[in-house]
Amino acid sequence: MEVNLISTFAEFKELKNIDRPTLMSVLEDIFRTQLARMYGDADNFDIIINIDKGDISIIRNRKVVETVEDPNKEISLEEVQKIDDSYEIGEEYPEEVPMSSFGRRGILNLRQNLSSRITDIEKGNLYKKYVDKVGDILVGEVYQAWKKEVLVMDEDGNELVLPKSEQIPSDFFRKGDTVKAVILSVEMRNSSPVITLSRTSNLFLERLFEQEVPEIFDGLITIKKVVRMPGERAKVAVESYDERIDPVGACVGVKGSRIHGIVRELRNENIDIINWTTNTQLLVQRALSPAKISSIRIDEESKSIHIDLEASELALAIGRGGSNILLAEQLSGYKIDVYRLGDQQQEDEEDVLLDDFADEIDDWIIESLKKIGCDTAKSVLALSTEEVMQRADLEEETVQDVQRILRAEFEN
């Protein structure tokens, strides 16, 4: 049992990332606790530990007296003289306590207490290590991939979690894969630290730009705002503090050398980089690029923007699945309503505004259709059921009902 106890110390010294003073303090504390249980008090014990050799010496100091009142702290002169007759009353008699005196149960308690204390210290150290790294990029190895989350190991063998909700939709990981993510949060759950990673956070995209673009890392270019639809599209607004530096060009790099690495890491996410401006109208125009806006009106009271577009520009402004206009709204902080300008006057005269169907179609459905640029009956019927569902985020049955009502109008 003594050999096993010594091997436990050696094991923690070799495998655990614990500094020497802390380990010494823990060892002394658990021995004093055990001695206090055995003798009632451990103040008169000297505990000498040599971690390198694994040696432990425990000395009990007792005062030599004529009559013993406290056997733990006093020893009679008669008893001492049987061992060493050089001691006199009033002197202290040091006596080594053999490890065997702890007994099998006592040594087992020491091992368990040591394991528990070391585990607690490891958890505390892990929490302190990562709580200051929230927002930093981490590169780890996939240890286990499950349906709802991926377990990632860092270089020190610590476990981190990448939930499914924080993965890019097209992410697919196998055991042994290298994964790059941002440290999203560190929290204690049931006395254990849980480090959560993210690849969908806007912060992840910011950190990737800092790694790829030296001007951003050095502070010459600032990322003012990032909005994302992970795996689909992102818009990054940048500003330069040096007039000689083109922030957009610097982020893209020569022939796209800088942006390509970021796009690959984000599973081919389409990234639009635009020059930041405090002019809302100009910012929206840049955000909806490459669509060319015919006219724009801003309503500050309702925080909304009315935009008129030629029919040929409508798809560009809205983007696939409405991604472009949705991100433009998030970037500007305004609700954007897009309206199509008639390119054939006769057709427009024969067309019917969606607002005229308010008695048959719910207002929220009409607003959803307007948002994707469909403000008339024919503009809705010109699209397939699937396209309306995807762009306006409506159920199939709802879209079919709307199309049925609109067709009936022209049939009549």
CATH class for the domain made up of 133-200: mainly beta
What secondary structure letter does DSSP report for 293? Answer: P
Contacts with 170 (C-beta within 8 Å, 6 or more apart), sequence order: 231, 267, 268
Domain edges within the chain: 2-130, 133-200, 201-276
pLDDT for 297-341, tens place per residue? 998 888 999 998 888 888 888 888 788 999 999 999 999 988 887
Question: pTM, whole model, 2 decimals?
Answer: 0.68
CATH number of 2-130: 3.30.1480
Architecture field, domain 201-276: 2-Layer Sandwich (3.30)
**Please, what is the average pLDDT of the chain?**
87
Q: What is the pLDDT along the chain (412 residues), one digit of tens a residue?
A: 454 555 555 555 555 566 777 777 888 888 898 899 888 888 999 988 776 666 788 899 999 998 889 999 999 998 988 888 888 999 999 998 888 888 888 878 888 888 888 888 888 888 998 999 999 999 999 999 999 999 999 998 899 999 999 999 999 999 999 999 999 999 998 888 999 999 999 999 999 999 999 999 999 999 999 999 999 999 999 999 888 899 999 999 998 999 999 999 999 999 999 999 999 999 999 999 888 898 899 988 889 999 988 888 888 888 887 889 999 999 999 999 888 875 444 444 567 888 888 888 998 999 888 888 788 888 888 888 888 888 888 899 999 999 999 888 877 6
